[in-house]
Structure formats: C-alpha cells, structure tokens
Amino acid sequence: MGVIKISNLHKIYDESKIPVKAVNGIDLTIKQGEFTAIVGPSGSGKTTFLNMVGGLDVPSKGKIEIDGINIGNLPPRQLIDYRLNNIGFVFQAYNLIPVLTAQENVAFIMQLQGKGKNERNKIARELLETVGIGDKIDRRPGDLSGGQQQRVSVARALASKPKFILADEPTANLDSKSTNELLDLMLKMNKELDTTFIFSTHDQRVMDKARRIITIDDGIITSDVQKN
C-alpha cells in the first residue's frame, strides 16, 4: 500500500532552442508513511520531479509506479481522477479557491469525489479542527493568514484520503513561526494517519524535521539520508 517506485526518470524541456535536462535519471522508492524532504539548489529539478510524481507533468523517459500502476500510462482523463482520489497537493501559493470559505474549500474536494453533503461538511469541520483552525471555518482565504491558509491546504489535501501528499515548498511564503507550526502539523498528521508526505524545501529548519532527506542537483540524486 502506498508504495511509489520511480525508475530511470527523465524530463527534458525541449520547447526552447536549447533543451533543458531538468530531471536526468532518478531511481527512487518511497514507502507508505514516509516523511520525506526533497532538497537542492534552485533550478535543480525539485518542482519538475514532484510534478511528475503527482501526475501533473509527463516524464520524457522512465516510469512512476504507484502501487503497481504506471501513472504515465493513464490517459489524461483518468489521470485527473487518479489525482483526485490518490494524491493530495499543497502548493506554495494560490492554493485555495478564494471565493469559498475554509470549510467549503475542504468540502469541495470531497464533492468532486462524489461524497454527500452532510458527510463532506462533517469531515471538513473535523479536519479543520484537527489542523487547528476550527474557529475560522467560515472565513475565506483572503481573511486568513498565510500560515492558516496552508493549514486549510493540508486539511484539503487530507480530505480526499490520498495515498500520499505532495507539497512543493509549502513554507516558502511563511514566517519562521508559521513554518514551524505547519511542519509540526504535517508531522502530526503523518504520525496519526500514517499519510506519506513528500515535500520540497530550501529551508534548513524544514529539512531538520524530515526523516528522510533526498538531495537533488542538476536533475540527479546526490544524496539520500534516512534518519531515525
């Protein structure tokens, strides 16, 4: 359950005259329940890598198998449904639907999944309670701080009961206090629900919280450290 097996992954951007080898042969296995940070200098290929793992971008070569399913083989329409039901996303910014309240944002994902109104509202409330903003469920994103918005994002990512959550620099726009709180929250969710988290970061303090740190440089893995 929840095993991501990546083999010989490549991504070459060749829209411009000089092709860019953003990901240049990555082999990696991530197991259920991991709390993994992807680190590396700017332009090293972190976002490109996460996008492919999340099924947002198509690899130029290699494959990504999630529980035995090669997501590169899924037709576009099925891939969207696959993302909806199996992958949670937390982005750096523009994460939430600005016209919906916190609760509606979380419930919306479940509506896309076809859950009933009462059920999704109940789960949304509970999740927002868990991420610590149970008293602000009727606020719209614009009326929440950056840290609070990211908590809503985590709640939304969890709402679809995904196999794993991908977060591309989730703390890049946050101050250090909010960064700490968000990481603690993610760690708590990881422990309580056994949800896999894979996130990229530049931030040393964020890396310190990770239990596995994968360093990428020029599109290849240069180190892979497991902590205990």
Ligand X SMILES: Nc1ncnc2c1ncn2[C@@H]1O[C@H](COP(=O)(O)OP(=O)(O)OP(=O)(O)O)[C@@H](O)[C@H]1O
User: What's the min distance (Å) between Cβ of 66 and ligand X?
Assistant: 20
For ligand X, the closer of residues 128 and 165 by Cβ is 165
B/e letters for 195-218, b = 16+ CB within 10 Å, e = fewer, are bbbbbbbebeebeebbbbbbbbee
Q: Which is nearer to other proteins, 107 or 174 (CB)?
A: 107
End-to-end CA distance of the chain: 22
HSE-up of residue 208 (Cα within 13 Å, Cβ side) = 6
Which of 47, 149, 171, 201 binds Mg ion (CB under 5 A)? It is 47
Give the shortest CB-47-to-other proteins separation in angstroms: 7
Regarding 107 and contact with other proteins (CB under 8 A), the answer is yes
Min dist CB 75 to Mg ion, Å, is 27
Helix (H) or strand (E) holding 62: strand 61-66
Tell me which stretch binds other proteins (CB under 8 A): 37-45, 98-106, 129-137, 207-215: 98-106
Contact map string, positions 154 to 193, toward other proteins, x by CB under 8 A = --x---x---------------------------------
Does residue number 196 form part of the binding site for Mg ion (CB under 5 A)?
Answer: no
* Nearer to other proteins among residue 94 and residue 192 (C-beta): 94
Considering beta carbons, is residue 104 or 169 the nearer one to Mg ion? 169
With residue 70 as reference, give the H or E element that holds it.
Answer: strand 69-70
One character per residue 68-87, x = contact with other proteins (rule: CB under 8 A): ---------x--xx-xxx--
How far apart are the C-alpha atoms of 190 and 203, rounded to whole Å? Answer: 20
Structure tokens at 209: 């919280």
String of b and e for 82-120 (b: at least 16 CB within 10 Å)? bbeebbbbbbbeebbeeeebbbbbbbbbbeeeebeeeeb
Q: 138: closest CA among 106, 181, 111?
A: 106
**Residues at the interface with ligand X (CB under 6 A):** 13, 15-16, 20, 22, 40, 42-48
Q: Hunting for tokens 């082999």 — which residue is that?
A: 27
Work out what residue 22 binds among ligand X, other proteins, Mg ion, none; the CB cut-off runs from 5 to 8 Å by kind: ligand X
